Amino acid sequence: MDILALRNVSKHFGGVAAVDGVNCSVRQGEIFGLIGPNGAGKTTLLNVICGLADPYQGEITFKDQRIAGKKPWDIARLGIGRTFQIVQPFHGLTIRENVAIGAMFGKKGHEGSIKEALSLADKALELTGLSHRADDLATQITLSQRKRLEMARALAMEPDLLLLDEVMAGLHLTEISEMMEIVKRVNEQGITIFIIEHVMKAVMGISHRIMVLHYGKTIAVDTPERIAENSRVIEVYLGERYAARRAKRLAGSEMGS
Amino acid sequence: MLQQLVNALLLGGIYALVGVGFSLIYGVMNIINLAHGALIMLAAYTTFWVFQLYGVDPFASIVISMALFFVIGFILQKYIVNRVVGQNVLMTMVLTYGFELIAVNFALYFWHADYRAVNPTYAGTGLEIGDVVVPYIKLGILTVAIVLTSLLYLFMTRTKIGNAIQATSLNKDAAQLVGIDIQYIYSFTYGLSAALAAAAGTLIAIVYTVTPSMEGGFLGKAFVIAILGGLGNSLGAIVGGVVLALAETFGVVVFGAAYQQIVGYVIFLLVLIVRPCGLVGRRFFSEL
Amino acid sequence: MMATRLTFLGKISRPLRLIAYAALAILLGLIPFTADGYWVRVCTNFFMFVIMVEGVNIISGYTGYAALGNVVFFGIGAYVTAILMSTFGLDFFIALILAGIVAGAFAFGLGMPILRTKGHYFVMATIGLNELVKQVVSNLDSLTGGGKGISLPIPSMPPRINYAFFYFVMLAIAIICVFVVYRLSKSKFGYGIRCIKANEQAAGVMGINTTMYKALAWTLSAFFTGLAGGVYAYWQTFIEPPVVFDVVFAIKMFLMLLLGGQGTVLGPVIGTFVVEFLGELIWGHAADLQLGILGTLVIVVVLFVPQGLVEVTRNKTIGRIFSTRRVKEPQPVEF
């Protein structure tokens, strides 16, 4: 079943189409990767989904409900959480409070008390390995911890769909594998994940399916293995000449065998 | 009707000058200079006293007041405002309002709330073209306003320091990287803005009465003009000045004299909400 | 966070705190009956500013929208009270409540469009709004008396009782106002608006209805400011546009807020106390230098105490400011 479906979605800035007629559907429970060179329109697409880039053309349905034109907070309450590429913590609040905000205002936000929100926050902090920093201010932690804070905050909203925008950018190798583990663990809890990532090893390693965006257009949607083999994708990432040489080489080796 | 149009254009010259300096500071430093009205007021007094005591023609005293206020502005920025550039909106605005309060108190203390006027001998004469009368004074003012804004444009585009100011307003980090001393640029910009305010103040002194409480009105005008032209866009302020002058002049014709100010502020709020980039500005887009 | 911001009260043990409160209550209750009429007026003025500064604290300190033109609600409250009492003959308290409601409704209605603007644009919009309303009030002669001002019925009380009456009305509203801000700071709503201040976009994505929260915060701010204006009008028995829509008033409010500390419960009270009483001591003797002194104070506060006194005492930086010799010495950790 599809949890999120985009039909012919376009977003123009002035005369430039940042997202140009994108169609895709994210299945319930999967990890859906979105890759593409810089300026491909990945973050814009995320903004469109979570209501930050209104108005746009096309149709988006989330759990069979149209969300076009809805405000970010309405979309958030339907069950979509997101993180930001450039971390955006709430300064002046502790880590725990930052995360509790998600619980206070997220999916079931209007029901619970502040106390309940704080205990939900503790759970999300544990899942992301931040418990030991709970009482620090958001300005006092490292980048890797701030990326996890973004994640914890979105998790505390108890979303059905989590949009992750480059949660691994700028991290070193061990931190990346830790983050991959966290993403997998979150997914095992039944949360569908839509992840933008530049770190190929990571996104190839955890995604069930991957979509490639180039100048706002979809050029491929497939499993990681087949994406790696897709000549159009290689062309986009490594240039036409490399793609042509590779095609020749492949043809040559086939002949040789 | 034609007479109204001519009046509006003549007024537009002064308004443009009021707005240009105000917008310039915002464009370069992101500061709303609430002392702008006070600078205009003090310059108007300077013109008045120079005329009263030494008989200097008000048009000639533009040079004096501009030079004087350039120095004052430069010093204010160098020793005080530079310490808070880049801090939040509130800090910088409140700080510049501190200058305003001191300036008003200064004027009230020494010159009292009396109304004063500069009356050169050629006041009251004018050029008659058909039914339309164009007072020489106002024609002179418009000429000065056009000359000054043109000079500003040339300064910004043709001189090294003008280019440095523009570079700083586009991206202060990049400007610093290529070796621009932005502290100096800030001081220079404030001085330039103060000099433009002084020019406006001098011209205002020729046609209006001078009083310590005139600052509020002209600060308000600077707001409206700058927003109409696009905040930070100093050439847009010229458009803003002319538009405001037209709106006020015809607002009075349509609604009555009481509505002169109201028309301006209504337009101001509408533009702020509907088109914050100003009438001639372009929107900017950025990714998150 | 809020709890730690109140440390200098919270650290005192509970019985001591109760005694302090009781002493404060007795002191406040006795002032109008023992002090000179002049000081009763000064205290009433102090309470009035506490209300307004807490009001501006809600929208500026907590929500991050620097409503420099908030004085517009003071003027609206004052005029609504004046018109309802003198033209429609309403009772003071009914007129006062209505004044607060009208000011609040005005903020809510205009807040929706105006709060879409941000940063400098918002500040300018609020100043423009204040000027606009001032001009409209000055020209609606039939309703507001125009530029000539409007008189209110003079309360039929002996002067002493009159002073005490306004003293206690202002005090009551000030206490309610501080209490509301205190509750607010611990509520979900309070968290919501603090998030808006910290990062509005992220707040929206977390499920906070930023448009509504901002408008409600401004409404609350305007309601209290309007009440202060209403009491002021009846207290003075005469108001005119340049006085109740005075931007200098607004600047004074922000000076107090900055000095005390934005986004804290007691900061505004402390800031107002310092400015009002210090100011009274200074410009009580030099009335013609009042504006200049205020201006100087503004500059000094922005340059040297931008965090506000509450924050300064918390960080013990006050010691650093006042001791010139031992700048580099390590700061003691315990409070």
Interface test with C, best of B29, B89, B267 (most C CBs within 10 A): B89
* pLDDT tens for each residue of A206-231: 999 999 998 888 888 989 888 888 88
Supply the pLDDT for residue C320: 42
Backbone angles phi, psi at A216, to 5 degrees: 80, -5
| pLDDT for position C333 | 35
Place of tokens 């056009």: B146
The residues of chain C scoring below 70 in pLDDT are 1-12, 283-284, 312-335
C112, C205, C208, C307: best to mutate for the A interface, most A CBs within 10 A = C205
Q: In chain B, how long is the greatest CA-to-CA distance?
A: 61
- Which of C268, C258, C271, C269 has the alpha carbon at shortest distance from C307? C258
Q: Highest mean pLDDT: which of B137-146, B159-168, C27-36, C69-78?
A: C69-78
- Residue A104 included in any domain: yes
Contact between residue A157 and residue A191 where contact means Cβ atoms under 8 Å apart: no
CA proximity to A94, closest of A54, A121, A126, A64: A121
Is some CB atom of chain A closer than 8 A to the CB atom of C205? Answer: yes
pLDDT at C14 (0 to 100): 79
Q: Tell me, yes or no, whether A140 lies in a domain.
A: yes
3-state secondary structure A4-59: EEEEEEEEEECCEEEEEEEEEEEECCCEEEEECCCCCCHHHHHHHHCCCCCCCEEE
Q: Is residue C20 part of a domain?
A: no
CATH of the domain at C96: 1.10.3470
Is A184 inside a domain boundary? no
Do residues A23 and A95 both lie within one domain? no
Structure tokens at A78: 């339907």
pLDDT in tens, C225-234: 999 999 999 9
Q: Would you state the pLDDT for residue C63? A: 94
Is residue B288 very low, low, confident or very high in pLDDT (cuts 50, 70, 90)?
Answer: very low
Phi, psi angles (nearest 5°) of residue A152: -60, -40
Query: For residue C329, is it within any domain?
Result: no
Quick one: closest CA in C to A108, which residue? C207
Establish if A214 belongs to a structural domain: yes
CATH number at residue A59: 3.40.50.300
Both structure tokens of C68: 């420099």
* Residue A139 in domain: yes
Q: What is the mean pLDDT of residues B226-233?
A: 88
**Averaged pLDDT of chain B:** 88
Q: Which residue of C has its CA nearest to B112?
A: C288
Q: Which residues of chain A have pLDDT under 50?
A: 257
Flag whether C124 is in a domain. Answer: yes
Nearest CA among C253, C198, C256, C263 for reference residue C5: C263
Q: Which amino acid is at A6?
A: L
- Domain tally for chain C? 1
Which of B31, B87, B105, B106 to probe by mutation at the C interface, max C CB count within 10 Å?
B105
Q: Is the peptide bond before B135 cis (omega within 30 degrees of 0)?
A: no
- The answer to whether residues A60 and A142 touch, using CB atoms and an 8 Å cutoff, is no
Distance CA A151, CA A80 (A): 13
Contact C309, C259 (CB under 8 A): yes
Residue of B nearest to C253 (CA): B94
Check whether domain B2-274 has CATH 2.40.390, yes or no: no
pLDDT of residue C11: 57
Say whether B288 and A14 touch across the interface (CB within 8 A): no
Within a domain: residue C18? no
Is the separation of the CB atoms in C96 and C81 below 8 Å? Answer: yes
Q: Look at residue C314 and tell me if it is in a domain.
A: yes
What is chain B's percent helix, strand, coil content, to nearest 5?
75, 5, 20
Quick check: B77 pLDDT over 80? yes
Q: Which two tokens stand for residue C74?
A: 């003071």
Query: Domain residues for A59?
Result: 1-79+162-169+189-257
Q: Which of C60, C288, C299 sits opposite B109 (nearest CB)?
A: C288
pLDDT of the residue at A110 = 60
| Same domain flag for A35 and A103 | no
Q: Is residue A179 part of a domain?
A: no
pLDDT in tens, B79-109: 999 998 888 888 888 899 999 999 999 999 9
**Tally of structural domains, chain A:** 2
CB burial of C232-248 (b: ≥16 within 10 Å; e: otherwise) equals bbbbbeebbbebbbbbb
HSE-CB for B282 with a 13 A CA cutoff? 5
Could you give the CA distance from residue A129 to residue A135 in angstroms, rounded to a whole number? 14
Q: Which amino acid, residue B243?
A: V
How many residues does this entry show for chain A? Answer: 257
- For residue A102, CA distances in Å to A86, A118, A142, C309 come to 18, 10, 21, 32
Q: State residue C318's pLDDT score.
A: 42
The predicted pLDDT at position A91 comes to 85
Query: What's the token pair of residue C179?
Result: 């209490």
Q: What are phi and psi of B117, to 5 degrees?
A: -140, 145
Per-residue pLDDT averaged across B177-188, rounded? 92
**Across the interface, which of C124, C135, C291 has its CB nearest the CB of B105?**
C291
pLDDT, residue B47, reads 93
Tell me the two tokens of residue B142.
């418009």
Measure CA of the first residue to CA of the last residue in chain A; give whole Å: 43
Q: Is residue C323 part of a domain?
A: no
User: CA distances (Å), B223 to each of B275, C123, C298, in order?
Assistant: 15, 11, 22
Q: Would you call A83 an interface residue with chain B, using a CB distance cutoff of 8 Å? A: no
Beta strand A209-214 pairing with C238-239: unpaired
Q: Are residues A43 and A92 in the same domain?
A: no
Q: Which helix (H) or strand (E) holds A1?
A: none
| Structural domain that includes position C123 | 2-7+38-318
The pLDDT assigned to C322 comes to: 38
- B287 vs A52: CB contact, 8 Å cut-off? no
Which amino acid does the sequence have at A182? I
Phi, psi of C66 (to 5 degrees): -75, 90
CA distance B205 to chain C (A): 23
| pLDDT value of residue C312 | 67
Q: What average pLDDT score do residues B172-199 get?
A: 93
Contacts of A43 in chain B (CB under 8 A): 287-288
